Amino acid sequence: MELPTRLLCGTGPTNPDPRVLRAMSAPLLGQFDPEFTSIMEDVMAFARQVFRTSNPRTFAVSATGRGGMEAAIASLVEPGDRVLVANCGRFGDLFVDLATRYGARVSQVTAEWGHVIDPQKIEASLKRTPAKVVAIVHGETSTGMLQPQMEEIGRICQERDALLVVDAVVTLGGVPVEVDDWQIDMCTSGTQKCLGCPSGMAPVTYNARAEHALADRKNPVVSNYFDLSQLQRHWSPERLNHHTLPTSMTYGLHEALRLIVDEGLEARWTRHRRAGDALKAGLEAMGVRLFGDPRHRLPMITAMHIPEGVPDEAARAQLLQQFGIEVVTSFGPLRGRIWRIGTMGYNAELKTVVTVLAGLEHVFRSSGLKIPQGAGGDAAEKAYSPISTNERRPP
């Protein structure tokens, strides 16, 4: 394989720290080798720190982020159960699809794509129709929106005796995800975004309330592979043989989580915020309109309107071929209307932002747009400048 080098500024995978890829090429261990189970234990301990939880049940599903979401719904939902989905984008739609497939009676509270969910709507819906599970996407990758008021949503779910399931695929490791403080009952993520690892595993954590719900099921989980009540016995001293854990992915996840813990979560959040702010400032200085509610934009995914006159596919192909930079469009109503630019994990850096802006400037110019020369990079650098004193940069 001869592979070109890419700056991956789509929505995942992102470029991992080279140390993560090196860890993935380490020699394999057997799945019940004490040296390997000790790596599993470390992964669990690191993941608890990153999820900000003391949940003993904190491990990884051997599938991508989507598989983690499915494991949550498959394991908690029985046919006929009521599920309320807070839906304002493509991954809210996925929760609806998953809950429907697993036999739930699904209600939704919605917001237009590019907006976020009002917690009062969740409360009002639960008052009308109690639900066993409330599912919400913390960072809606499809629109670039960050759901606020998670603590309030957690409080509402506790009061209404609903299990709160949160998709933190894009947010974990990039912005605060406070599993315990927000009373999240089950939270799932994916490796290939702000955790900075290749795609292929899905960290998951859940509390005693969720574990009781698994134990209290009347019917077995339809999926064997995503049956958390089995997986938790594999990821425990019991070491129930389930599937053969993906060894190299586990190494990669171990190294990725170790690097996060080493950097410090707060420093990492700050780094993502600064990179996102810089990118947004740079784009605006180039005359680009950002998409969605300005109060709730994700730092790690910046959604922008494709400027008039810029052909979506051809311009992205040019950016990829001439500059080796990947950005992506979105789904459904936003396909061909917006681009999404990721600054995640290792790429949440000023140099990534300036490089992307330089590439975009060239591509926009060749589509005939008039862009003030270098304005994007300058504005980005300016916006990036403020450094808080206790911030540590990655080596």
Residue ranges binding a second copy (CB under 8 A): 1, 3-6, 8, 10, 12-16, 21-33, 35, 39, 62-67, 70, 74, 94, 97-98, 101-103, 190, 192, 198-200, 220-226, 241-249, 251-252, 254-255, 320, 326, 328, 331
- What is the total residue count of the chain? 395
Closest separation between CB of residue 254 and a second copy, Å?
6
For the bound state, the minimum distance from the C-beta of residue 188 to a second copy, rounded and expressed in Å, comes to: 12
119 versus 190: smaller Cβ distance to a second copy: 190
Pick between residue 13 and residue 144 the one whose CB is nearest to a second copy. 13
Tell me whether residue 13 or residue 292 sits nearer to a second copy (CB atom): 13
Residues 6+ apart with CB under 8 A from 220: 227
Task: Give CA–CA dist 327/353, Å, rounded.
Answer: 12
Instruction: Kindly state the smallest distance separating residue 308's Cβ from a second copy, in Å.
Output: 25
Q: Which is nearer to a second copy, 119 or 252 (CB)?
A: 252
Of 326 and 349, which has the nearer Cβ to a second copy? 326
Least distance (Å) between residue 257 CB and a second copy: 12
Given the DSSP bridges, would you call strands 202-206 and 186-188 parallel, antiparallel or unpaired? antiparallel
- Least spacing, CB of residue 284 vs a second copy, in Å: 25
Smallest gap from Cβ 20 to a second copy, in A, equals: 9
CA 339 – CA 279 distance, rounded (Å)? 13
Instruction: Report the candidate in 274, 283, 272 with the shortest Cα–Cα distance to residue 357.
Output: 283
Closer by beta carbon to a second copy, 225 or else 323:
225
What backbone torsions phi and psi does residue 38 show, to the nearest 5 degrees?
Answer: -70, -30
Give 201 or 281: the residue with its C-beta nearer to a second copy. Answer: 201
* Least Cβ distance, residue 386 to a second copy (angstroms): 31
- The 3-class secondary structure across the chain, one letter per residue, is CCCCCCEECCCCCCCCCHHHHHHHCCCCCCCCCHHHHHHHHHHHHHHHHHHCCCCCEEEEECCCHHHHHHHHHHHHCCCCCEEEEEECCHHHHHHHHHHHHCCCEEEEEECCECECCCHHHHHHHHHHCCCCEEEEECEECCCCEECCCHHHHHHHHHHCCCEEEEECCCCCCCCCCCCCCCCCCEEECCCCCCCCCCCCCEEEEECHHHHHHHHCCCCCCCCCCCCHHHHHHHCCCCCCCCCCCCHHHHHHHHHHHHHHHHHCHHHHHHHHHHHHHHHHHHHHHCCCCECCCHHHECCCEEEEECCCCCCHHHHHHHHHHHHCEECECCCHHHCCCEEEEECCHHHCCHHHHHHHHHHHHHHHHHCCCCCCCCHHHHHHHHHHCCCCCCCCCCC
Identity of the residue, 6 or 105, whose beta carbon is nearer to a second copy in the bound complex? 6
State which residue, 158 or 248, has the beta carbon closest to a second copy.
Answer: 248
Nearest approach, Cβ of residue 54 and a second copy (Å): 25
C-beta of 154 vs 190, nearer to a second copy: 190
- Minimum CB–partner distance for residue 322 and a second copy (Å): 14
Residue 232 and residue 59 in contact, taking contact as beta carbons nearer than 8 Å: yes
Q: Which two tokens stand for residue 186?
A: 């089950």
Q: How far is the CB of 178 from a second copy (least distance, A)?
A: 25
